[in-house]
Chain A
Amino acid sequence: MTSYGLFLGCTIPARQPDHELSSRKALAKLGVDLVELDQATCCAPPPIESVDLKSSLAIAAYNIALSEELGLDIVTICGGCFQSLAKANALLKEDKHLKDEINTLLGKVGKEYHGTREVKHYLQVLVDDVGLSTIKKNLSKTLDNVRVASFYGCHVLRPSSLLNFDDAERPKILDQLVNATGAKSITYRNKLKCCGGLLKGYEDDLSLEIAREKIMNISKTKADCIVTVCPFCFVALDMGQLLIRRKFNEDYQIPVLHYPELLCLSLGIDAKELAFQAHRTRVDSLLNKIT
């Protein structure tokens, strides 16, 4: 199995131990070899791009250069990190002039971006390297009768021409991976629409309103849980339900899981070994259904 340079980003290691834990456990169980990048930094996501695009490109290139030095492609856990790095990788591979400008900056810290490696998201690694049939073979418990509202988030999908991840209008990867656990990935209204996660922190009302519409659409389908890929989407929908309860007096109680958590459960890893206590919306209803 190919080794990958693991890029953790900042939010997951600092704030979502449940996300990091379940990812590491699931990927290890499926034999994916990850080498954590040393001296990595933040990927330079939208808040940093908002201050200066060039700096953000340089930061992304710096992190990719770290993996290039190890001779490895990068894999990210966070959907947002995936977009930052993959987008930068695509832009710099295309535009030699821009690449030279960025390398002038990287030269100051003794690094060089070559554009020789790929940036992937772990979902791609699961489908392409591990394979759906291998996952199915490794299941110790199929999650029958579990209806899952899968949510890709925006940044693994778009802008599709630069990311090379999946079809942005009719993506399949996450649904296939959810179905591989035996659960059923259902459709719901405006499935691919943004959760408003990035507005949190300075436009909380707007952010919550957008998340609420999503929760409402999902709740109409009577899904057993929501599965997310991006840490911001997770917070928007998980913590979001708490805030919705407080502000709108609506109680949805739909468990929100990081995809690796769902995968771990089906791979036979005990719920106690995962960090569900970090979730704000209780996951009991799902766990009870599974056992």
Chain B
Amino acid sequence: MKVENSQFYKEVTSKLGGETLTKCYQCGTCASSCPVARITTRYNPRLVIKNALLGNRAEVITEDAIWLCSSCYNCQERCPKGVEIAEVMYALRNIAVKEGHVPLAFIEMASNLINEGRLVPVTSFSLRKRETFGLPPLKEAGVTALNKILTSTSFTKTVEKAKEAAK
């Protein structure tokens, strides 16, 4: 196997969330603390970081390993070097999404956010249920403000592009 992008670590460490990547000394505490790694060989945080450090950019960005992190933060809590592993996973995902590699479920949730300001849509069914249980009516979400922000950060554009790539 050839290493295709030995400068990849610089790309990661210059991104928000990825700054601590190079502190890793591969001790494996993260892997041992990970609930997902224990039950599937498809994900191992130590290996993801190793691949990122070495420069296997395509593997890290296109394969689904980085999407299997359950964000439990057990790794980050216990890392002796202060590597923010969960945040690094987000940084890697951010890179992947920009290039169109992202599971459909995430695109859906992101679209809901853009359209309704919420991760999950509020159906008329849920509104009726609320009434039945005597809950106060749902306050309006700040969708307009949200969208202004999301346009400024190119979030909306990124999601559009990812939607196109998924088709």
Contact = CB atoms under 8 A, between A and B. Distances in A.
* A and B in contact, CB less than 8 Å: yes
Interface of A: 10-11, 13-15, 17-18, 20-21, 24, 36-42, 45-55, 57-59, 62, 66, 98, 105-106, 108-111, 154-155, 157-160, 168, 192-194, 196-199, 201-203, 206-207, 209-210, 213, 275, 278
A116 B126 CA distance: 35
A158 B72 contact: yes
Interface residues of B, number: 64
A206 B39 contact: yes
B74 A154 contact: yes
A14 B104 contact: no
Contacts of A20: 130, 135
A47 B119 contact: yes
A47 B141 CA distance: 19
B135 A24 contact: yes
B149 A42 contact: no
Contact of B16 (A11, A54, A106, A196): A54
A21 B67 contact: no
Given A47-B110, A203-B68, A206-B39, A55 B73 contact: no
Contacts, number: 186
Contacts of B91: 53
Contact of A202 (B36, B67, B73): B67
B133 A13 contact: no
Contact of A51 (B15, B94, B140): B94
Contacts of A198: 70-71
Given A52-B158, A159-B73, A194-B35, A45 B106 contact: no
A159 B143 CA distance: 29
B153 A105 contact: yes
Given A193-B35, A209-B39, A210-B39, A53 B90 contact: yes
